[in-house]
Amino acid sequence: MYFARRALLAVLAVLFLTLPATAQDKFITVASTTSTEQSGLFKHLLPAFTRASAIEVRVVAVGTGQAIKLGEKGDADVLLVHHKPSEEKFIAEGWGVKRLEVMYNDFVVVGPDSDPAKIKGITDVSAAFRKIAETKSTWASRGDASGTDLAEKEIWQALGIAVSKSGPEWYRELGQGMGPTLNTSAQLPAYTLSDRGTWISFKNRGPLQIVVEGDQKLFNQYGVMLVNPAKHPHVKVELGQQFIDWIVADAGQKTIADYKIEGQQLFFPNARKQGS
Amino acid sequence: MPSLPLSLENVSLSIGGASLIEDVSLTLHHGPRTIILGANGAGKSLILRLSHGLLGPTRGSVRWGGAERLGPLRRRQAMVFQKPIMLRRSTRANAGYGLKIAGMPRSEREARVAQVLERVGLARLAERDARVLSGGEQQKLALARAWALDPEIMFLDEPTANLDPTATAAVEAIVNEIHAGGAKIVMTTQSLSQAKRLADEVIFVHRGRVAEQTPADEFFANPRSAEAAAFLKGELAW
Amino acid sequence: MSEILSAFSIAFDLIVSLDRELIEIIRRTFLVSLSAVAIATLIGLPAGAVLAVVRFPGRRALVILINALMGLPPVVVGLVIYLVLSRSGPLGFMGLMFSPTAMIVAQCVLIVPIVTALSHQVLRELYEEYREQLCSFGATLPQMILTILWDGRRNLVTSVMAGFGRAVAEVGAVLIVGGNIAGVTRVMTTTIALETSKGDLALALALGMILVVTAIALNASAFLVGDAAPARQGG
């Protein structure tokens, strides 16, 4: 008994005393999207920044809609998201200081290899969407107000096709992140819209493959914003600004361009030169 | 402040609308071993619990040495139950538990516990888990635990009801020894033979009422109440 | 099927190679959940004992409420804790959002009802058994509570471990208040959820296996310690 209790205490002591001493004193919280986290970009990008600045970056990866909410509530210092209209609204309402463009990737339409809507190889995404609606082929929508979700809804809207969580019957709103939506699409099977980064690093593809890509409308711009310290005084202005300055400068831009999976570049830096 | 004399004055007890004890009055004095005798369900145990303050009367009053509040007097009394309540601890810890509750310092307690365990013959089992002792050993331990408190009154509720004749004899011997040490004994039983062996005074209970309270010699020779007479005859016939 | 098989080999590789990141995550998982359990035990056991021993108006209603709270949905707890700890919330000034502390708070809220309700059940039975003897000794309320807590300790291990099981297996609440930040608030369950999102089902399952095995090991050692506990106490 004596020894058993001592052993347990020893285990607990080890657990608590060996708490990682590596945690940086200086850190910022970045609210970003699942696409940047799950594609592995941050794992590649952030250590480079931490080495250069001694600032730890803590990423909370959620949908763009939720990321913006976190910014409004003051639970993040910096936002790195991808839905321009929402970002501009965020700035206009005073929640953020300034929006800078960082990089882009693109969306792809993926679907089952049986291709019931016969859209494989079509380059006009609107035409492809119209055929999916006409053939009533199953479509899986994220339905989580993320950047991808909003981009998809804009295409339907432009076509004048009314879709929502209540229908039509072939339109399934999942309320999930990109990965789970791809998991579900592979099972249904269904067509869905994915960012290319998540798609390339996604492992459970089942019958899914890319059916539409390359349309100008599928262009996906990422922006970075500092949360407004006038609204939330605790925001780490200096550290957050250092991160923003780094990511839009040559060092950060080059690191983004260097990130490749299976030889494919996932994100394309396109920040405008500062002060020029 | 002594607990004795202990008196019940017109005590009634109802539980859930059922009247279990009705208008009982009796007084217990220092000295004689009082046996509360009666058939199953007559109300013996309830009278014992009322006397020890484990139950409060619905009507009437219980007085200990004239006081209606038991308060610290409770610690001058001890009770042994029909089914001994064994704490999930060693024999030694069980025997010392009452003293610990009463706040006796550890060193004093240890000596007292060793003494009572020796006297009931459990010293060699001191380290054993009390819950693996035999029924007879458990009841002896319960007696030792009560005895350790050196009580002014010792209540015993059919302490031998579940025991074999050998264990019963051992328990009765311990009860007598406790009595010899100066404690007032108040014990219930439904066994006439046990009552004959132990009683100095008999309180006969029938259907929630006290039929009589009589010195033992007189009770067994010439009971005052018809109920007691019938009980004695029934028991003799059996 | 192939995923299940490869999960075994991945789990094996991860353990054999003592994957640094994995070990960090396991340690963080246990640190967070054990802290939550420790706090929940300090609250739940005395609360369970008080409910078992003390008679007061509304006690039954309170017991029913606590029993019902055992089924609190983690997502709801996570959301409420988020709203409280958020910078815009009442305790926002403490800056606890997205920290292990926030996760401990959330798990605590989830398991205090479990530890309380289960220990109440254990202690109630014990108290029913002991009550007359304790009254006879003139034990005070605190003495009664300490007695049943000590004597019920072996069965209470089960109550506490049930709380630990819930805490360590929970994902909804810690995901919201912890944010699944790599190296800071990423624990086993949130890692499993993340790998599932990424479609890496085999890795997710392998992590799940490791979680289950470590939880079983901890449970087993808790029970061994409980069984070895001495019957002897005081004297």
C81-125 residue pLDDT tens: 999 999 888 998 888 889 999 999 999 999 999 999 999 999 999
pLDDT of residue A13: 66
Q: What is the pLDDT of residue B235?
A: 56
In the prediction, which pLDDT does B172 show?
Answer: 96
Number of structural domains in chain C: 1
> Of B77, B41, B93, which is closest to residue B150 (Cα–Cα)?
B77
Show the tokens assigned to B134: 């035999």
- Closest-CA distance, B39 to chain C, in angstroms, reads 23
Within 8 A of B90 by CB-CB distance, chain C residues are 231-233
Examine the pLDDT at C29 and tell me if it is beyond 50. yes
Q: Return the residue of B nearest to C155 by Cα.
A: B88
Q: List, in order, residues 6 or more apart from A41 with CB less than 8 Å away.
A: A197, A256, A259, A266, A267
What is the reported pLDDT for B236?
Answer: 45
Task: Give B193-199 contacts, CB < 8 A, sequence gap 24+.
Answer: B194/B35, B194/B160, B194/B168, B195/B35, B195/B37, B196/B220, B197/B172, B198/B33, B198/B35, B198/B172, B199/B33, B199/B34, B199/B35, B199/B37
What strand order describes the sheet that includes B59-64? B18-28, B6-15, B59-64
Of the candidates A240, A244, A227, A223, the one whose C-alpha atom is nearest the C-alpha of residue A95 is: A227
Interface of C with B in 122-151 (CB under 8 A): 129-130, 132-139, 143, 147, 151
Mean pLDDT value across residues A65-91? 93
pLDDT of A14 strictly over 70:
no
Residue C8 in domain: yes
Domain layout of chain B by residue ranges: 6-87+151-237
Burial classification of residue B111, based on how many CB atoms lie within 10 Å of its CB (0-12 exposed, 13-18 middle, 19 or more buried): exposed
The pLDDT, as a whole number, for residue A19 is 52
In 3D space, the residue among B80, B220, B79, B43 whose CA is nearest the CA of residue B161 turns out to be: B80
Q: Flag whether residue B173 sits within 8 Å of chain C, measured between CB atoms.
A: no
Tokens for B141, please give them: 């331990």
With 0-12 CB in 10 A as exposed, 13-18 as middle and 19+ as buried, what is C224? middle
Tokens standing for residue A169: 């019957």
Task: Evaluate whether C4 touches C11 at the Cβ level (below 8 Å).
Answer: no
Preferred mutation among C181, C187, C214 to probe A, highest tally of A CBs within 10 A: C181
Whether A236 and A77 have beta carbons less than 8 Å apart is answered as yes
Burial class (CB in 10 A: 0-12, 13-18, 19+), B115: middle
The answer, yes or no, to whether residue C26 has pLDDT greater than 70, is: yes
Cβ B198 vs Cβ B176: under 8 Å: yes
As beta bridge partners, residue A212 has A109
Instruction: Please tell me which chains touch B, using 3 or more CB pairs under 8 Å as the contact test.
Output: C
State which residues of chain B have pLDDT below 70.
1, 235-238
C211/C205 Cα distance (integer angstroms): 10
Q: Helix B91-101 crosses helix B135-148 at what angle (to 10 degrees)? A: 30
Using CA coordinates, name the residue in chain C closest to A38.
C198
Which residue shows structure tokens 């009683």? B199
Closest CA to A208 of A191, A193, A233, A226: A191
Token pair 């019938």 in the structure block, residue: B230
Size of interface B-C (CB pairs under 8 A): 68
Nearest CA-CA distance, residue B221 and chain C, Å: 36
Q: Give me the helix-helix angle, C153-169 and C100-136, nearest 10°.
A: 160
Q: How high is the pLDDT of residue A17?
A: 57
Q: Answer yes or no: is C232 within a domain.
A: no
Check whether A5 has a pLDDT greater than 90.
no
Length of chain B: 238
- CB-based contact A203 C92, cutoff 8 Å: no
The DSSP string of A43-93 is: HHHHHHHHHHH--EEEEEEE-HHHHHHHHHHT--SEEEE--HHHHHHHHHT
Domains of chain A from N-terminus onward: 12-104+221-269 (3.40.190.10), 106-218 (3.40.190.10)
* B150 in reach of chain C (CB within 8 A): no
Residues A213-264 pLDDT 10s? 989 889 999 999 999 999 999 999 999 999 999 999 999 999 999 999 888 8
Q: Say if residue C160's pLDDT is above 90.
A: yes
Here the tokens at position B125 are 């089992």
Domain containing residue C88: CATH number: 1.10.3720.10
Query: Quick one: pLDDT band at residue A1, thresholds 50, 70, 90?
Result: very low
The Cα C11–Cα C228 span in angstroms is: 32
User: Which residues of A touch chain C, with CB atoms under 8 Å apart?
Assistant: 1, 4-5, 7-8, 12, 15-16, 18-20, 23, 29, 34, 38, 42-43, 58-62, 72-75, 177-180, 182-183, 198, 201-205, 232, 234
Phi-psi region of B31 (alpha: psi -120 to 50; beta: other; left: phi over 0): left
Distance from CA of C64 to the nearest CA of A (A): 34
* C231: in domain: no
Give which of B58, B61, B62 is closest to B18, Cα–Cα.
B58
**Which two structure tokens, joined as six digits, stand for B11?**
């005590």
CB A102 within 8 A of CB A224: yes
Whether the CB of B129 is below 8 Å from some CB of chain C: the reply is yes
The per-residue pLDDT for range B78-107, each reduced to its tens digit, is 999 999 999 999 999 999 999 999 999 999
State whether CATH 3.40.50.11260 applies to domain B6-87+151-237: no
Q: What is the pLDDT of residues A190-202, one digit of tens each?
A: 999 999 988 988 8
CB C87 within 8 A of CB A234: yes
Q: Is residue C234 part of a domain?
A: no
Asked if pLDDT for residue A274 goes beyond 80, the answer is: no
Model confidence at C192, pLDDT cuts 50, 70, 90, reads very high
pLDDT of residue A275: 45
> At how many degrees (to 10) do helices B106-120 and B165-180 cross?
130
Please report the DSSP string for chain B in residue order: ----SEEEEEEEEEETTEEEEEEEEEEE-SSS-EEEEE-TTSSHHHHHHHHHTSS--SEEEEEETTBS--GGGGGGEEEE-SS----SSBHHHHHHHHHHHTT--HHHHHHHHHHHHHHHT-GGGTTSBGGGS-HHHHHHHHHHHHHHT--SEEEEESTTTT--HHHHHHHHHHHHHHHHTT-EEEEEES-HHHHHHH-SEEEEEETTEEEEEEEHHHHHHS-SSHHHHHHHHHHHH-
Give yes or no for residue C225 having a pLDDT over 80. Answer: no
| B51 CB-near residues (< 8 Å, 6+ apart) | B6, B8, B28, B62, B155, B186
Instruction: Supply the range of the domain harboring residue C149.
Output: 2-225
Which amino acid appears at position A33 of this protein?
T
Inter-chain touch C225–A5, beta carbons under 8 Å = yes
Q: Report the chain B residue with the minimal C-alpha distance to residue C135.
A: B54
User: For the packed helices C20-53 and A2-17, what is the interaxial angle rounded to 10 degrees?
Assistant: 120
The neighbour count for residue B166, using CB atoms within 10 Å, is: 9
Percent of chain A past pLDDT 90, that is, above it, reads 63
Which of A24-28, A178-182, B78-82, B90-94 is predicted with the least confidence, judged by mean pLDDT?
A24-28
